[in-house]
């Protein structure tokens, strides 16, 4: 598949009612749609304007990955209530919501203006969010500056590239390696191979803060191609590196409205 930059069409946000977190957990499986009115802070407005102008590469210095150990259809997640609070977090730029394929976990990939603000988010705000749901959590912080060149070579939407369509699926990967500095790693070898993977639209390379783990956040044109990549191809890549790995597949369709509300770079 040829990877090329174009601007996708946008869909309208859905609205409705939202319960508190514990009510949400009790209602998981009932099919109640949740939403609300978004509160946009000045910091978020500035970030959203930068994203629309393709200027995120000038401001983002860190990525954050999160996943909550819950299982509920995304239309039951009180995403607008959560969005309102995240928009107020220091240094927040954008978020792409994630809904686990097969297990309905909830998470996200975020951009922050600094490592310090990303660390504050994962050590202060997010543990409190998980505690409110009464569930365990996963968080990771990545150096966005170190991976800029490698990601731009893969048409990363996080660095201003406009995709020619909306993603149907996302894949998150992390490999148990220590590669510091990131530029010494094998990204120049793997990028040409990755570009040939069926349905791959874009990749954002990830470099673990302190750990030097190597990973990626990928956009695919279909769930089938995302599964083929994560289940069939990616293990061959990690075998060559002689390393253990972590993969997750996410259905992009249910989270579009929530991601649009958070200035996700994958939707224009």
Nearest to 98 by CA among 66, 141, 56: 66
Distances (CA, A) of 208 to 123, 142, 146, 179: 16, 5, 10, 9
If asked whether residues 54 and 167 sit together in one domain, one would say no
If asked whether residues 126 and 188 sit together in one domain, one would say no
Judging by beta carbons within 10 Å of its beta carbon (0-12, 13-18, 19+), is residue 241 exposed, middle or buried? middle
Least confident of 30-44, 153-167, 203-217, 234-248: 30-44
Residue 132 covered by a domain: yes
Residue 166 covered by a domain: yes
If asked whether residues 193 and 166 sit together in one domain, one would say yes
Residue 10 covered by a domain: no
Which residue range(s) make up the domain with 222? 148-251
If asked whether residues 97 and 163 sit together in one domain, one would say no
Cβ neighbours of residue 236 closer than 8 Å, sequence gap 6 or more:
none
Residue 8 covered by a domain: no
And the tokens for 247?
């993969």
Angstrom distance (rounded) from CA 71 to CA 137? 12
Residue 16 covered by a domain: no
CATH number of residue 102's parent domain: 3.30.70.100
pLDDT band with cut points at 50, 70 and 90 for residue 3: low
And the tokens for 64?
């954050």
Least confident of 4-18, 52-66, 101-115, 146-160: 4-18
Residue 134 pLDDT > 60: yes
If asked whether residues 126 and 152 sit together in one domain, one would say no
Which pLDDT does position 157 carry in this prediction?
97
If asked whether residues 139 and 258 sit together in one domain, one would say yes
Residue 14 covered by a domain: no
Residue 2 covered by a domain: no
Looking at every residue in the chain, the average pLDDT score rounds to 85
Least confident of 29-38, 57-66, 200-209: 29-38
pLDDT band with cut points at 50, 70 and 90 for residue 32: very low
If asked whether residues 50 and 107 sit together in one domain, one would say yes
Model pLDDT for residues 13-29, shown as the tens digit of each residue: 333 344 454 444 444 43
If asked whether residues 187 and 207 sit together in one domain, one would say yes
If asked whether residues 242 and 258 sit together in one domain, one would say no
Least confident of 39-53, 127-141, 198-212: 39-53
Distances (CA, A) of 110 to 20, 141, 259: 23, 9, 10
If asked whether residues 54 and 187 sit together in one domain, one would say no
pLDDT band with cut points at 50, 70 and 90 for residue 72: very high
Residue 199 covered by a domain: yes
Q: How many domains does the chain have?
A: 2
If asked whether residues 237 and 123 sit together in one domain, one would say no
How many beta carbons lie within 10 A of that of residue 53, not counting itself?
A: 10
If asked whether residues 81 and 39 sit together in one domain, one would say yes
Model pLDDT for residues 74-128, shown as the tens digit of each residue: 999 999 999 999 999 999 999 999 999 999 999 999 999 999 999 999 999 999 9
């Amino acid at each position: 598949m040829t990877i090329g930059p174009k601007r996708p069409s946008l869909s309208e946000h859905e609205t409705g009612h939202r319960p508190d977190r514990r009510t949400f957990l009790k209602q998981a499986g009932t099919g109640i749609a949740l939403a609300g009115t978004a509160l946009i802070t000045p910091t978020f407005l500035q970030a959203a304007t930068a994203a629309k102008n393709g200027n995120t590469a000038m401001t983002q210095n860190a990525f954050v990955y999160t996943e909550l150990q819950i299982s509920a259809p995304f239309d039951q997640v009180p995403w607008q209530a959560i969005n309102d609070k995240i928009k107020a977090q220091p240094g927040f730029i954008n978020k792409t919501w994630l809904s686990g394929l097969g297990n309905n976990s909830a998470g996200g990939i975020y951009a922050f203006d600094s490592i310090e603000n990303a660390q504050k988010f994962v050590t202060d705000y997010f543990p409190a969010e998980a505690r409110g749901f009464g569930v365990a959590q996963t968080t990771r912080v990545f150096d966005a500056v170190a991976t800029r060149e490698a990601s731009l070579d893969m048409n990363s939407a996080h660095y201003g590239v406009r995709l020619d369509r909306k993603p149907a699926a996302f894949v998150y990967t992390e490999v148990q390696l220590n590669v510091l500095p990131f530029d010494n790693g094998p990204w120049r070898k793997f990028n040409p191979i990755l570009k040939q993977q069926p349905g791959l639209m874009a990749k954002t390379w990830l470099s673990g803060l302190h750990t030097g783990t190597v990973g990626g956040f990928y956009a695919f044109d279909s769930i089938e191609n995302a599964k083929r990549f994560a289940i069939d191809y990616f293990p061959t890549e990690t075998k060559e590196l002689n390393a253990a790995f972590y993969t997750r597949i996410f259905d992009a369709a249910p989270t579009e409205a929530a991601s649009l509300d958070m200035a996700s770079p994958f939707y224009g």
